[in-house]
Structure 1
């Protein structure tokens, strides 16, 4: 049992989340959520265990092979956790377990049982309930366990819409952890800027970043780190990280740590040799202008779509001025001409997952949300990334001096009642600040 993870949030917060889910469940219903399982890497070796985000959100329990059962009958709520029992021999080999006897007090559940008892006790405990909340496909090993039992309910509904909406709004405790994730991620980027120089390999800089994450208590990155030198920056999810960083090129680094299960997500682009060339400045300043304007607009009452529309206009105007696009600005915007150079969205929700859950669309008259739209009104407690970019492919018809330049600038923003707060502002992004930092390496 990883006690450090349990200490990250008080157990009362997990209990309060379960109470909030109970309040949304119909009477005479049950909900079941499964943990992640260990994933085999190869013979006798597993990947580092990472708990399922939904299961963690409701339990704070960081062991595999567990299930949470919530039963609501006659306005009475029952919480039961099914988990691996203590086993001295296996714990000698594979680490400590919380155990059935310790679980109720440690996790504030009403009952706890061995995971092997789930199938038999599930039928007994859900007797006289007619609705089951379950999300098939999230943990497929749970699907197999419930395959027969699900047919006993008159209706099976997904708990995902309820939990997604809950996870979208961060508590003060979550914000505290996300601030820490943002700060540690920023320290990794600062180290990368200080350690980058011509002829170093991309993966050497990646190792500097991961070292800094570990040094401050974040053992793992929140996602695969991108260190993309030169035209590699025009590959959005570049991950090979095995090329030499060349004098005169830019390097794009997209890296964030995971701290106490919460993700940081920062991108910075800077010159390998510490000095921007004029073409690099042109593209970089255009992206920075767009990002700053987006951050101004991303406040309560506005939407991601509003900010992105402004970003697109700024970019198209700038690309026309640089001769990368030709034509009338409004016509180019209508034709999505920018998509050749800016092909992703402005940002995404951030939290327990780096691409966190929650609908991006406003609710229609039936209360349904279209997640493909980005018109949802921003509210206090939401956290999102702001990451405009421009990627001038070597195969594009842009002027020669701009070919192969890829720039993205990304920060994490918390929506507050006073505007927004940038959680990742410790990493410089102004050209003069970056050059000054790198000059003092």
Structure 2
């Protein structure tokens, strides 16, 4: 964990947001994999981790926004636990590490919530994403577990986002560690991208590198030679010469900060002329987006600029026709680029998405688009120094989508479907970097994962 003053300062920032009543923070419990005693790898709730720092199960935190009191609730282990787990640090000593002096058994949480409710005080909580915390909230508040999500405090959510979205220097250093591990993961994948290799072997190797770097993969690894499926978690195929292997993966640091990179690699180490042409278009969009990323600009505008680069490149190849700006305004580019340019990143790979993407990526000024493709943009609002974001343009040839648009005549004035159909079976290309917004512009975090086509080919060929 960080120094205890980090957590004290973070809680003080939250207490300065003029909230009334009390704020509840639920840590995560163990999650059974196939029986109660055989659990998934533990992952603490990110907001609890951010404000309370303790990375083990069975905890809850409370901040009283009017008195300033802070509490951690949890149970110390008993002898049966010690037999299996060994001696454990008492809760009060762990709480002291993050600057909290008031601790109590977990059951006492019910008393403090009941007292607040009886006094007609506001009880703020965040949207729960685990079933056990929904049930706990039902027991604490009397609200139905089925409707509890709709009762989460918007005021609380927005206050927390306003703090967490600006990354501290020490957070950026943790993200750099995750990026260094992510670099190793992707270079290893490139070296393994040879005909006859099982996709699962590559994905498993990458996951092992992430664990060896101190944390698990920051999300389930996406790796497939069917890269036209945007989130393809199927790793069952054997790589074939001439195909493209799309790999979207990242690591967590020991303190759970994330990285998130995507690279697309020619199986066997040589792009075909058609593959290289599309690759260069996506790389140009990626580089343009980084160039435009700076404080004060909206990420929606950067997304649309990247879309124009893709549309212009595809026009040169005969896939798009007409005026490029008009094509993008009509959404014609989304046949090839049907997702958003990027998202916030930090303690979560899609940072704070559990709090509601609409509040993380948008605000009263910038609202989500309704147009296909751009509607999938997770981050549209104005950028600020300290934001950590991803930049991930892509170009895909999705047979079902091509068929639908062609049959329905969608954007037929801008798309040359005869030419597009020549790319069936192409797959997809996505190139993603992690970016820090600085005071004057932006920078790629850590050493850039190899991305120039000649360099990627060389790595594959070296094996």
TM superposition score normalised by structure 2: 0.85
Is 1:408 aligned with 2:403?
no
Alpha-carbon deviation of 1:149? 9.4
Secondary structure of the 1:206 match is helix
1:69-108 to structure 2, matched below 5 A, reads 69-73=62-66, 76-94=67-85, 97-108=88-99
User: Quick check: 1:86–1:100 contact (8 Å CA) kept in 2?
Assistant: no
User: Quick check: 1:227–1:251 contact (8 Å CA) kept in 2?
Assistant: yes
List per-residue Cα deviations over 1:180-237 (Å, max 9, x = no partner).
111110111111112221110101111221222233223x1010101111xx100011
User: Quick check: 2:74–2:104 contact (8 Å CA) kept in 1?
Assistant: yes
User: Quick check: 1:17–1:58 contact (8 Å CA) kept in 2?
Assistant: yes
1:267-346 to structure 2, matched below 5 A, reads 267-346=262-341
Q: 2:224 aligns with which of 225, 228, 244?
A: 228
User: Quick check: 1:84–1:97 contact (8 Å CA) kept in 2?
Assistant: no
1:160-309 to structure 2, matched below 5 A, reads 160-218=157-215, 220-229=216-225, 232-259=226-253, 260-309=255-304
Count of aligned pairs: 420
Is 1:36 aligned with 2:31?
no
Gaps of 5+ in 1: 1-5
- Alignment root-mean-square deviation, CA: 2.3
Alpha-carbon deviation of 1:370? 4.0
User: Quick check: 1:414–1:423 contact (8 Å CA) kept in 2?
Assistant: yes
Aligned to 1:16: 9
Secondary structure of the 1:359 match is helix
Query: 1:333–1:136: structure 2 CA closer, same or farther, 3 Å change rule?
Result: closer
Gaps of 5+ in 2: 145-150, 353-358, 370-376, 403-416
Secondary structure of the 2:450 match is coil
List per-residue Cα deviations over 1:147-187 (Å, max 9, x = no partner).
2499xxxx984411111121111001101101111111011
Secondary structure of the 2:69 match is strand
Q: Distance in 1 between matches of 2:380 and 2:231?
A: 26
TM superposition score normalised by structure 1: 0.89
Is 1:436 aligned with 2:429?
no
Query: 1:422–1:47: structure 2 CA closer, same or farther, 3 Å change rule?
Result: same
Secondary structure of the 2:263 match is strand
Query: 1:129–1:175: structure 2 CA closer, same or farther, 3 Å change rule?
Result: farther
User: Quick check: 1:263–1:351 contact (8 Å CA) kept in 2?
Assistant: yes
Query: 1:30–1:51: structure 2 CA closer, same or farther, 3 Å change rule?
Result: same
1:97-136 to structure 2, matched below 5 A, reads 97-124=88-115, 128=119, 130-136=121-127
Larger % of strand: which? 1
Alpha-carbon deviation of 1:401? 4.8
